[in-house]
Each structure stands twice: as structure tokens, then as C-alpha cells.
Amino acid sequence: MTTSRKNFTSDDKRKLKAKLRKICSTFWVERGYKETSISEFCKYANISTGSFYNLYSSKEKLFFETLQEVQFKVNEKFIKDVKNTPSKGGFAEALENLYFEYESKPFLYDTKAIDFQAFYNKLSIEEKTKLESDNSDFFRQAINHAKLKLKCSEEVAFSVFSILLSTVSSKEMLSKSCDFEAAFKFMVQNLVEDIFI
């Protein structure tokens, strides 16, 4: 039986939102933003449409919250990896691990895809700014935890690592003609050497 909104306690809402974010993350990988409807969320979460709107004002709000949660978990793991080995080598290894996290969650890196743009264009300026500032804050924290000093500006370093991680979208095509993993590790090692003192 579908759960109606009048039955929700604050704990029910917290649990249902967590369940919806988990469903959203799966749907985003399997189908994309555009091909996922509120009615599908309701079906898989076993709630009514009214209940959904009691939790989220729109599909975009759920996707935004899901993206923030996934980014936070991925960034948290990266910082943990950096803290475990605060050195250039540790930072390089953490970057390689981060790459594989991105690879498993295409919506984190394929921001130029039509599907992601359809979602992104519906966000408010504040939401877009929050996503960007969260990423740069996390990068700054990672450098501090690694106890490293930059040879270049923070903006240039952040851009270089963002571009490096964006190569995940080309992996399938490039893997046919080269040893992508070996090339990626080579780039990581050399960029870390060039960017940090």
C-alpha cells in the first residue's frame, strides 16, 4: 500500500528522503535525469505523488540533493585517502582512487552531456554557485591535509585536476587505442610533481 503524506513523522521524512536519494542515484546512472519521472520515484519508494511533493518541491530538488550527497561522500573519501598519506605520492594515489569513484558515477563528471545540462539549467544561481564552491572548498581542504604547497595558483591547480578527472568521459574510446590506465597514472604522477613544491 502506498504511504500517504499524513502518516509522516520527521523521522519518516528523513528515512524516505534518504531512500529517494538512493533511488535517484541509481536511476541517474541507469537512465539519466530526463528519463526519470516523479511517478517512478513514487513507485520505487512506495509513496504517493502528494507524499513526494511533501518532501521535495520538484524532481530537480531531489536530483540536486542527491548530487550534493554523492559529491560529499566522494570528496570525503578523497580527503580521507589524502590524510592517510599526506605527501605528493599520497595525493597522487588519492587522485587515482577519486578517478575510479568518478568513473562509477557518470553524472559527477559528464557535465557537458545533454542530460546533465537539462538538469543543470533548471537549477537556481544559488544552487549552481553552491556546487562550484563546494568543489573548490574540498580541493583546498585536500591540499591542506596533504601538507603540500602549490607552485602555481590555486585556480590553475584546480583547473588542471578538473581537466584530468574529466578524461574519464573519454576512457572507453581512448582505451581502444592506448593503455589508458598507465597513461592516466603517468599524467597524475607528473602533474602532482609539477604542481606541488
Chain position carrying cell 519518516: 12
Residue 185 to residue 68: CA distance in whole angstroms: 27
Q: Which domains are seen in the chain, by residue range?
A: 5-57 (1.10.10.60), 61-195 (1.10.357)
In this predicted structure, what is the pLDDT of residue 109?
Answer: 60
Residue 64 to residue 50: CA distance in whole angstroms: 20
Ranking 107-116, 142-151, 172-181 by mean pLDDT, the lowest is: 107-116
pLDDT in tens, 157-167: 999 988 888 88
Residue 101 to residue 143: CA distance in whole angstroms: 19
pLDDT in tens, 20-56: 999 999 998 888 899 999 999 999 999 999 999 999 9
Average predicted confidence (pLDDT) for the chain: 88
pLDDT in tens, 135-150: 788 888 999 999 999 9
User: Given CA atoms 126, 74, 187, 170 in this order, what sign does their dihedral have?
Assistant: negative
Q: Check pLDDT > 80 for residue 125.
A: yes
Ranking 57-66, 105-114, 188-197 by mean pLDDT, the lowest is: 105-114
C-alpha 32: how far from its chain's center? 14
Q: Check pLDDT > 90 for residue 5.
A: no
Instruction: Categorize the per-residue pLDDT at 110 as very low, low, confident or very high, splitting at 50, 70 and 90.
Output: low
Ranking 56-65, 88-97, 111-120, 177-186 by mean pLDDT, the lowest is: 111-120
Q: What percentage of the chain has pLDDT greater than the value 70?
A: 93
Residues 6 or more apart in contact with residue 105 via CB below 8 angstroms: 25, 29, 70, 74
Residues in the chain: 197
Torsion of CA 143, 144, 148, 149, to 10 degrees: 90
